[in-house]
Structure 1
Amino acid sequence: MWIEREISNDLHQIVKTFPVLALVGPRQVGKSALLERIFPQYRHISFDVGTLAKTAETRPQDFLNEYTPPILLDEIQYVPSFFRHIKTYVDSRKSENGLFILTGSQNFLLLENLSESLAGRVAVIPFLGLSASEWQASPISTDVSWKEFLWRGGFPALWAEKEKAPAKERWYQGYVATYLERDVRNLLNVGSLRTFERFLRAAAARCGRTLNISELGRDVGISTTTATQWLSVLQASNQVFLLEPYYRSLGKRLAKSPKLYFTDTGLASYLMGYSSPEALWSSKEAGALWETHVINQWLRRRDWHDLSMGIWYWRDQAGNEVDLLIEKNQKLVAVECKLTEQPEPKDIKGINRLKDFYGAEQIVHSYLACPIENSFDMESNVTVVNGWKTWEIKDF
């Protein structure tokens, strides 16, 4: 079953205005399938094929002579030296756009020396699994609850027709094994993949929490330096993202460490060991994964539709916190994620502290994102909304 992706129309526009388009995201989120579907005129070359990767690396001109642009190059991270040849080709055809479409399951622009090669020539689009809106718009959602979407996650393969859909645990077992063998070995010389898998599971257990890298390393039995390096691998392979704290000139009294989130709640719930939506929903980690889900939706909205929007969290040294701050045009919107259908005044304690700290006039509007059907106003400038999807913000 094909599920339409929100960004399809934008990608068509991008190839008209940039010589290179790069779609970067984790394995199995549907990058190649989407691009092959919406750009059927592009010849598809995958560098998963070792002989093609070797040719591109050792005989780049022969490769370009045989595979003349416009072309779609899959898993471009396997041929790092080929970037400069793409640059040379693009620079020799300054009036042409849409020459190369690249995909990568590792964020190659984070890797050393690669960002300089295509600076100003490439539009880089972060790409993740299905958004809640994409999933809800598909026929499969009519027979499945939101709770199962949170538990199963947004990898398209898990939402095939029922007779073709793999068992979640089997699929994630294979996914993690492939990730460890291919991405981790390729990015980092890890002595023990079993230790790295323990690190991966320990990171999942901290989803939605302020990052303490030394504690994370200590729990796995590795040094802080190694933990920092391994976390960078999770970031470069787009498995996690760090939500940075927000502070202005008053920042000395605020938290400085980021919060850790997985980019897919299904992977996080698998790593935590939950075998059913019901087990997850009734667990102590359910609130953290609900928060992860809400923030993931806004991450997609920023990366796909609203690049000027900033997303942060806020926390003071007394522990008062707002899960998500959305900033645009120097205006702030506060969002608190609460796994409850009946929010109470105490649930906006962090929002009230934020208003006291910066001044209520600095906050355009505040929201409680809850698993409810219909929105309602809790009090002046505080609205309780359905947090499964992003929503339109008042006066923004």
Structure 2
Amino acid sequence: MIERSHRKSVEDALENQAGVVLLGPRQVGKTTLAQDIAESRDAVYLDMERTADRQVLEEPDLYLDEQMGRLVVIDEVQLLPDLFGALRGQIDRRRRQGHRTGQFLLLGSASNTLLHQSAESLAGRVSYHELTPFMLPEVGSDAMSSLWLRGGFPDSFLAKSDRASLTWREDFIRTYLERDIPSFGLRIPAETLRRFWTMLAHEQGGLLNAAKLAGNLGVSGQSIARYLDLLVDLMLLRRLPPWHSNAGKRLVKSPKVYIRDSGLTHALLGIEAQEDLLGHPVVGGSWEGFCIENLIAAAPRGTEASFYRSSAGAEIDLVLKLPQGQVWGIEIKRTTSPKVTRGFHVAAEELEISERILVYADEKDAPGQGGVRAMPLRGALERLASA
């Protein structure tokens, strides 16, 4: 059993809020984490994919009034959108009776859908948290190669072999395309969406070129935008925005697009083993995406992530604006040479970067030129976690 780093933040939130909304893609471990938390409390668990549990909440106030003072865990809550109004009333009523914290733990698999449903009803009453696939600090640096190859979905990472892991991810993708996405009422041909997802895997970390994607798929630009929004909403895709604060500079305006889990990238491309990955053209983009997901997860809550690229060639792979206002610039390279390009230094000066880091493939920290510190991914994660 791998201890999830998110557990403490969720439990702390339950000590201070009436409810917590825990978001994350399917099969990422939300239910396991919620049940672990529930075991240490007086709690009841309901799954909205089970007909019997949905029927229990057909008259929500009747049932929830009986659970006053208990933690109520509701899984796949986005499947019952009418419930949010009742939850607001329940939270307010419980507050008046002295039950102010730790009342509801709501689990959901679609971020924007769920946030829109709950934003008005539960504003100021719940805390939002995202559960990611396993990240490097959770599994340890010795397992980094396996985590990068297989990705962080628990059943994929913990599989008995690379072949079993790949089979699990292929089944996961098929299930999402054929069952889960249609369950949201979205009529998108599974084969079209698979081709789109695979195209993004080939271009991992590239600038979004919607016109090119539309032409290759034979669909409209509006359809491409809809497909992107869907995969972002399902927390399977990251749309990394460009830095936009330098009004006087000619900056790239298109976002960069990453499949968030490296294992899914590799499954879409048919990459089974480490040797296959290291010899594949996507290796650089895959490594960059893997590092970016880990770095964003390690950053303090409220950190804003972007990238920087100007028409003059100044570029930083990842710009993190921390809640206190500091701006970190991080370059990511699969190299053992602790050097960054001149474009990185130019960009760092333009943005007044306070912390300049090169994440590279060696195992030791090394001073770089122009105040850059070169370090392995593990070291960068530790610095961010203590920021």
Same fold (TM over 0.5): yes
Q: Report the AA paired with residue 29 of structure 1.
A: V
The CA deviation at 1:111 is 5.7
Contact 1:77 1:108 in 2 (8 A): no
Contact 1:339 1:371 in 2 (8 A): yes
CA separation of 1:110 and 1:38: change in aligned 2, threshold 3 A? closer
Q: Distance in 1 between matches of 2:177 and 2:66?
A: 33
Q: Which residue of 1 aligns with 2:325?
A: 330
Q: Distance in 2 between matches of 1:93 and 1:241?
A: 38
Q: Which residue of 2 aligns with 1:367?
A: 357
SS at match of 1:324: strand
Q: Distance in 2 between matches of 1:274 and 1:263?
A: 16
Q: Which residue of 1 aligns with 2:87?
A: 86
CA separation of 1:177 and 1:25: change in aligned 2, threshold 3 A? same
Q: Report the AA paired with residue 52 of structure 1.
A: D
Matched, 1:315 2:309: yes
Q: Which residue of 2 aligns with 1:353?
A: 346
The CA deviation at 1:179 is 1.2
Q: Which residue of 2 aligns with 1:38?
A: 37
CA separation of 1:191 and 1:247: change in aligned 2, threshold 3 A? closer
Contact 1:183 1:237 in 2 (8 A): no
Q: Distance in 1 between matches of 2:348 and 2:193?
A: 42
Alignment of 1:1-396 (within 5 A): 2-40=1-39, 41=41, 42-56=43-57, 58-65=58-65, 69-94=70-95, 95=98, 96-108=100-112, 112-136=116-140, 141=142, 146-160=144-158, 162=160, 167-250=164-247, 252-302=249-299, 306-328=300-322, 329-344=324-339, 347-358=340-351, 362-388=352-378, 390-392=381-383
Q: Which runs of 5+ in 2 are unaligned?
A: none
Q: Report the AA paired with residue 87 of structure 1.
A: R
The CA deviation at 1:318 is 3.2
Which has the higher mean CA deviation after the structures are superposed, 382-391 or 237-246?
382-391
Q: Which runs of 5+ in 1 are unaligned?
A: none
Q: Distance in 1 between matches of 2:386 and 2:260?
A: 29
State, as a whole percentage, how many aligned pairs show the same letter.
Answer: 27
Superposed CA RMSD = 2.4
CA separation of 1:203 and 1:55: change in aligned 2, threshold 3 A? farther
Contact 1:128 1:263 in 2 (8 A): no
Which has the higher mean CA deviation after the structures are superposed, 149-158 or 206-215?
206-215
CA separation of 1:355 and 1:192: change in aligned 2, threshold 3 A? closer
Q: Distance in 1 between matches of 2:119 and 2:164?
A: 39
Contact 2:304 2:321 in 1 (8 A): yes
Contact 2:147 2:157 in 1 (8 A): no
SS at match of 1:92: helix
Contact 2:318 2:331 in 1 (8 A): yes
Contact 1:204 1:262 in 2 (8 A): yes
Contact 1:190 1:196 in 2 (8 A): no
Q: Report the AA paired with residue 350 of structure 1.
A: G
The CA deviation at 1:367 is 1.3
SS at match of 2:381: coil
Q: Report the AA paired with residue 316 of structure 1.
A: S
Q: Report the AA paired with residue 61 of structure 2.
A: Q
Contact 1:364 1:395 in 2 (8 A): no
Q: Distance in 2 between matches of 1:108 and 1:243?
A: 16
Q: Report the AA paired with residue 364 of structure 1.
A: S
Q: Distance in 2 between matches of 1:318 and 1:206?
A: 23
Q: Report the AA paired with residue 160 of structure 2.
A: K
TM-score, length-scaled by structure 1:
0.89
SS at match of 1:35: helix
TM-score, length-scaled by structure 2:
0.91
The CA deviation at 1:207 is 1.9
SS at match of 1:168: helix
| 1:260-281 superposed Cα distances (whole Å, 9 cap, x missing partner) | 1122111111112212111112
